[in-house]
Structure 1
Amino acid sequence: MSGERPALRLPQLPPRLTVRQRFAAVGRRWRQLLRLAAATSAAYAISTHLLGHEQAFFAPVAAVIVLLAGVGLRHRLLVELVLGVAVGVLVGELLILATGRGAWQLALIVVLTFSAAVFMGLKGVSLTQAANSGVLLAAVVPAVGADNPAMTRFVDSLVGGACGLAMVLLLPRNATRDIDKEVRPLLEHLEGILEQVARALRAGDAAQADAALERARGLQSQVNSASATAAAATEVAHMSPVRWYQRTEVARYAQVLVDIDNAIRDARVLARRVSSMLRMGETGGDELCEAVECLARGVQIFEAGLSDPAAYARAQDELVESVRLAVGALTDQMTLNRAAVVAQVRSLAADVLFASGMSRDELDVRLNF
């Protein structure tokens, strides 16, 4: 019926995990669990036994915040944390001295503390901690004979943040391995997309090219995840003495990821151009099909040698050959769509060649057909 409404599409729920998979997921977090245990206990022990603070709850809380912070934030998170706590305890303590403790006083403290933090230009976690500090000061009555709560909260936040940061430095993840596990699947997907585009050209099947386009578009979430991992790996490699030896390798992988991201974007345009060409009734021809197949082989060889830059020469030869074949296909039949496909083959090959370490000058020489 023309007036019938389309059925509602419910969001897909994540697949259910078996008990074994859940235990495995916990097991993979062993390093994080160890960090949390060591940092929180150390922070509490230092604040309670070494510094003599009563109710030193904020020290382990600060350690947890630093440990579970978003990637790329820890190098500045400790400063933000202390700034936020400082604002919270300052505003909160002044208001408590003036108004006392109670429900309406707590509401007033939270509003004014947050407003003061915004006025000072604080953002992110520092805003959260400013409000949290005000709440804790208003809600938790200091023990009899305890030191000034404003100063103890401030010091506890510093102790907890330092303990959390120390655990990140002393028990870091393997930065190179983490980023390698993200980049390789992207290259495998890119190879598969190019193979699918080549099959579409061979068969003259625009629908298959459209499927390759959708597959390429679906990689964006993986690219974003890989970028986040690269940021975390770079942070670890620069901050942790245990991983300093990985800095050069992590920087290389991070640059590879940038170039592969560009290559995936070019693959989307390539698939769209091939689909347009086939819908217009144009054929790819053997040489253009071979060019895309050669491009896929170059990506596959590059992925296989990802951890060994000395093996990139074979991949570079395949990628250069793909451009030579594509440019040669223009001599058979020059159309706007065909020229666009050839241009995308060259652009994508250039991205992977850049990922292999080829300079722009060398690229211009080798792709000058």
Structure 2
Amino acid sequence: MTSIVQISVGAALAWVIAHDLVGHQQPFFAPVAAILVIFAGTGGRRRITVELFIGVSVGVLIGESLISVIGRGWWQLGVIVALAGTAATFLGLRGLARNQAATSASLLAAIVPVMPGNPAVARFVDAVIGGLVGLAMALLIPGNPVRRVNRGMQPVLTTLGQALRRIELALRLEDAGPAWTALQQVRGLQPAIESLTTTVSNADEIARYSPLRWRQRGHVERYVVAVRDVDNAIRDTRVLARRVHTMLRRGEHSFTGMPEAVRLLREAVEVFADDIAEKDAYDEARRQLIEAARMATKALPEAATINDAAVVAQVRSIASDLLYATGWTVAQVDRALATGR
């Protein structure tokens, strides 16, 4: 609902400014630019806005320059769009900005301007107005950044917990099947974690720059700190699942204590998910993570195979990743895992 309000108010306001205040008769770039900037809500709006301005200026410059020489028509439009897209690519523009360069050029070639003066300047000013209005809407009518990032984080942590539960089951039953299922689960998390990363970036921007959301900066910062380390925990869980699957598939046996260590990891993930959502202390999650690492190390048999050692190492790595996600430093994690306290 927030985005609908943002684009409707932003598009109307951009038109009013460009048409009524600046005096442009066809300010279609103003509402278009405002909508594009608002919908570019996956992080880095300032960068996207700058690139959008560059894309518009490239399209306008090439479009108007060629129109003055070759005129308007179907084949001229094709030539203009091709050159604008090529120039944008050469300048390193991508995605939205490159599309906008081609769109700007095509609109200039297809629409006969009715405003007096230089249409290239007018179009560029419209795009600047729209981009600034879009930024203003993102800051003045922001969505809830904490709700947004938590909505992305919780499914990721839930799936991670489910995968650890299956790895625990595989170790208890000495059945490679659940470990293979867990491996597929965590492999499928990569698109979600990439989307979460950009969502966290956008939420951090809103919390830092929107006065209405300043009080949420500390809570959002928790997600900023956590997302990279949660990603690392997912990658290490993928390795753990693969190692457990290989170990059991080859007929090697699980050893006493490892299912319990993985269980503690899973329970810590569940506690961590609640703590980050409610802004609680991470004391219980940290205790369980340290105990999981200690238990895994203690469980390693004297006549350990390569897979045994790898499983223990991955449990310790996942525990470390999640301890980092709680905000602990490298020194704190090393000290905790070395002493077991």
What TM-score, normalized by structure 2, do the two folds share?
A: 0.91
Identify the match of residue 79 of structure 1 among 50, 59, 63.
50
Partner of 1:15: none
Asked if the contact 1:63–1:160 (Cα under 8 Å) also holds between the matched residues in 2, the reply is yes
Asked if the contact 1:72–1:232 (Cα under 8 Å) also holds between the matched residues in 2, the reply is yes
SS of alignment partner, residue 181 of structure 1: helix
Partner of 1:353: 323
Asked if the contact 1:294–1:322 (Cα under 8 Å) also holds between the matched residues in 2, the reply is yes
**Quick check: 1:40 aligned with 2:11?**
yes
| 1:182-331 paired onto structure 2 within 5 Å | 182-307=152-277, 310-331=280-301
- Residues 309-332 of structure 1 show CA distances to partners (whole Å, capped at 9, x for unaligned) of 653112211111112211111245
- Write the letter of the residue equivalent to 2:22: L
Seen in structure 2, the aligned counterparts of structure 1 residues 353 and 35 have a Cα distance that, compared at 3 Å, is same
- Residues 142-164 of structure 1 show CA distances to partners (whole Å, capped at 9, x for unaligned) of 22x63332222121111111111
- Write the letter of the residue equivalent to 1:69: A
Please identify, of 213-222 and 113-122, the stretch whose mean Cα deviation from structure 2 is larger. 113-122
SS of alignment partner, residue 338 of structure 2: coil
What's the CA shift for 1:116? Answer: 4.2
Please identify, of 346-355 and 244-253, the stretch whose mean Cα deviation from structure 2 is larger. 244-253
- CA–CA distance in structure 2, aligned partners of residues 116 and 46 of structure 1: 30
Query: Structure 1: 5+ residue runs without aligned partners?
Result: 1-29
SS of alignment partner, residue 143 of structure 2: coil
- Write the letter of the residue equivalent to 1:160: G
Asked if the contact 2:264–2:292 (Cα under 8 Å) also holds between the matched residues in 1, the reply is yes
Identify the match of residue 103 of structure 1 among 43, 64, 74.
74
- CA–CA distance in structure 1, aligned partners of residues 128 and 29 of structure 2: 10
**Quick check: 1:63 aligned with 2:37?**
no
How large is the RMSD of aligned CA atoms in angstroms?
2.2
- CA–CA distance in structure 1, aligned partners of residues 294 and 190 of structure 2: 30
- CA–CA distance in structure 1, aligned partners of residues 89 and 162 of structure 2: 49
- Write the letter of the residue equivalent to 1:197: I
- CA–CA distance in structure 1, aligned partners of residues 81 and 306 of structure 2: 63
Partner of 1:128: 99
- Residues 114-157 of structure 1 show CA distances to partners (whole Å, capped at 9, x for unaligned) of 444445554443333333222222221222x6333222212111
- Residues 299-347 of structure 1 show CA distances to partners (whole Å, capped at 9, x for unaligned) of 2222222245653112211111112211111245422221111111111
Partner of 1:31: 2
SS of alignment partner, residue 62 of structure 1: helix
Please identify, of 333-342 and 77-86, the stretch whose mean Cα deviation from structure 2 is larger. 77-86
Seen in structure 2, the aligned counterparts of structure 1 residues 321 and 166 have a Cα distance that, compared at 3 Å, is same
Asked if the contact 1:109–1:138 (Cα under 8 Å) also holds between the matched residues in 2, the reply is yes
Asked if the contact 2:300–2:309 (Cα under 8 Å) also holds between the matched residues in 1, the reply is yes
Query: Structure 2: 5+ residue runs without aligned partners?
Result: none
- Write the letter of the residue equivalent to 1:96: I
- Residues 72-129 of structure 1 show CA distances to partners (whole Å, capped at 9, x for unaligned) of 2420233323323323333333333333333333333333444444455544433333
Asked if the contact 1:309–1:356 (Cα under 8 Å) also holds between the matched residues in 2, the reply is no
Aligned length: 339
What TM-score, normalized by structure 1, do the two folds share?
A: 0.84
- CA–CA distance in structure 1, aligned partners of residues 246 and 77 of structure 2: 63
- Write the letter of the residue equivalent to 2:77: L
Asked if the contact 2:255–2:301 (Cα under 8 Å) also holds between the matched residues in 1, the reply is no
**Quick check: 1:50 aligned with 2:28?**
no
What's the CA shift for 1:360? Answer: 1.6
Asked if the contact 1:217–1:268 (Cα under 8 Å) also holds between the matched residues in 2, the reply is yes
What's the CA shift for 1:168? Answer: 0.9
Asked if the contact 1:53–1:147 (Cα under 8 Å) also holds between the matched residues in 2, the reply is no
Asked if the contact 1:237–1:250 (Cα under 8 Å) also holds between the matched residues in 2, the reply is yes
Seen in structure 2, the aligned counterparts of structure 1 residues 109 and 167 have a Cα distance that, compared at 3 Å, is same
Asked if the contact 2:168–2:262 (Cα under 8 Å) also holds between the matched residues in 1, the reply is yes
Partner of 1:168: 138
Alignment identity in percent? 46
Identify the match of residue 93 of structure 1 among 51, 64, 69.
64
Partner of 1:139: 110
